[in-house]
């Protein structure tokens, strides 16, 4: 009985963690959905680019769906352990096993297609730069989207300040966007932008991912460990 009580406590603890992880994933998905226009909006009018990046538009909804499923699993596991319901415990085990296998497959696919994704992002450099020159300062939607993106990421253009060279904004004002000069943005001319050389948004995003790769990997390993432990405990409780 003592062993069974300990297992029930472990089951509740594991599934409480899974429930919280699911809620956190839903919140992240909502935030991604709210802010995705800052990232994808700047590429909407780039020819041949938007269709290639269309799957990114559903990233927020995908996170919300996955988070809801994870939260449901946590709730199911807690109820199954507390109520000692064998049906709920087995259903919990099957669902979490499917999710665990899907996570492993997704990780493998991400590793396999990483070179392809990097190649695609490299190919669109010139096209995005051309879109900036043609639309920045002329179309309000593109201008606002780029301004919000550069303000958020502390970057300048897709590659660097040269993306704005020849644009309507620069031709009319003889100045570059204030985000291209970190010291004196009110007088951001070509000389100052060239001397400060604020990094492009593409490099800023890559650097952000690399700097947090260890944290992301650690979180992924912890989540996988919790899932495996929860499956083991649920099976033991099911048999008892």
Name, in order, each residue with C-beta under 8 angstroms of 103's C-beta and a sequence gap of 6 or more.
Answer: 220, 223, 224
Tokens 């409480």, residue?
16
Same domain for 50 and 93: yes
Task: Indicate whether 91 and 187 sit together in one domain.
Answer: no
**Does residue 223 lie within any of the structural domains?**
no
Q: Is residue 186 part of a domain?
A: yes
Note whether 137 and 171 are same-domain residues. Answer: yes
Range of the domain at 235: 2-124+229-239
**pLDDT of the chain, 240 residues: tens digit per residue:** 566 677 777 777 777 877 887 888 788 777 766 655 555 555 555 444 444 444 555 666 777 887 888 888 778 777 777 776 777 778 878 887 887 787 777 777 766 766 666 666 666 777 788 888 888 888 887 888 888 888 888 889 888 899 898 888 888 888 899 899 887 777 888 888 888 888 888 888 778 777 766 676 777 777 777 778 777 877 777 776
What pLDDT, on the 0 to 100 scale, is given for residue 37?
54
pLDDT at 229: 76
Same domain, 79 and 17: yes
Same domain, 133 and 120: no
Say yes or no: 145 and 36 in one domain. Answer: no
Establish if 196 belongs to a structural domain: yes
pLDDT of residue 62: 75
Q: Is the pTM of this model over 0.75?
A: no
- What does the alpha-carbon distance between residue 205 and residue 197 come to, in Å, rounded to a whole number? 16
Identify the CATH number of the domain in which residue 192 sits.
1.10.1450
Based on the structure, what is the number of domains in the chain? 2
Question: Is there a single domain that holds both residue 118 and residue 193?
Answer: no
Q: What is the pLDDT of residue 78?
A: 77
Phi, then psi, of 44 in degrees rounded to 5: -60, -35
User: Which residue from 146, 162, 151 is spatially nearest to 185, judged by alpha carbons?
Assistant: 151
In a domain, 160, yes or no: yes
Does 143 lie in the same domain as 112?
A: no
What separation in angstroms does the CA of 237 have from each of 50, 133, 225, 240? 50, 64, 18, 5
Q: Please give the pLDDT value at position 49.
A: 46
pLDDT (0 to 100) of residue 123: 67
Q: How far is CA 209 from the centre of its chain?
A: 9
Spatial contact of 57 and 29, defined as CB atoms under 8 Å apart: no
Nearest to 53 by CA among 130, 127, 155, 108: 127
Q: Helices 140-153 and 201-211 meet at what angle, rounded to 10?
A: 40
């Amino acid at each position: 009985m003592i062993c069974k009580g300990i297992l029930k406590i472990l089951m509740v603890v594991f599934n409480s963690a899974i429930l919280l992880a699911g809620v956190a994933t839903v919140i992240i998905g909502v935030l991604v959905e709210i802010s995705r226009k800052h990232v994808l909006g700047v590429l909407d009018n780039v020819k041949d680019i938007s269709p290639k990046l269309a799957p990114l538009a559903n990233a927020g909804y995908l996170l919300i769906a996955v988070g809801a499923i994870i939260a449901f699993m946590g709730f199911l596991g807690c109820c199954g352990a507390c109520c000692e319901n064998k049906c709920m415990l087995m259903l919990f085990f099957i669902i979490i096993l499917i999710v665990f296998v899907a996570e492993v497959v997704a990780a493998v696919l991400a590793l396999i297609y990483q070179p392809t994704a990097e190649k695609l992002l490299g190919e669109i450099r010139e096209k995005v730069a051309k879109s900036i020159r043609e639309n920045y300062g002329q179309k309000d939607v593109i201008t606002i989207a780029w301004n919000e993106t550069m303000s958020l990421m502390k970057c300048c253009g897709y590659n660097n300040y040269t993306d704005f060279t020849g644009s309507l904004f620069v031709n009319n004002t003889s100045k570059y966007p204030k985000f291209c000069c970190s010291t004196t943005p009110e007088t951001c001319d070509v000389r100052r932008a060239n001397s400060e050389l604020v990094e492009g948004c593409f490099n800023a995003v890559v650097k952000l991912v690399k700097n947090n790769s260890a944290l992301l990997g650690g979180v992924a390993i912890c989540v996988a460990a919790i899932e495996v432990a929860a499956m083991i405990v649920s099976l033991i409780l099911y048999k008892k």
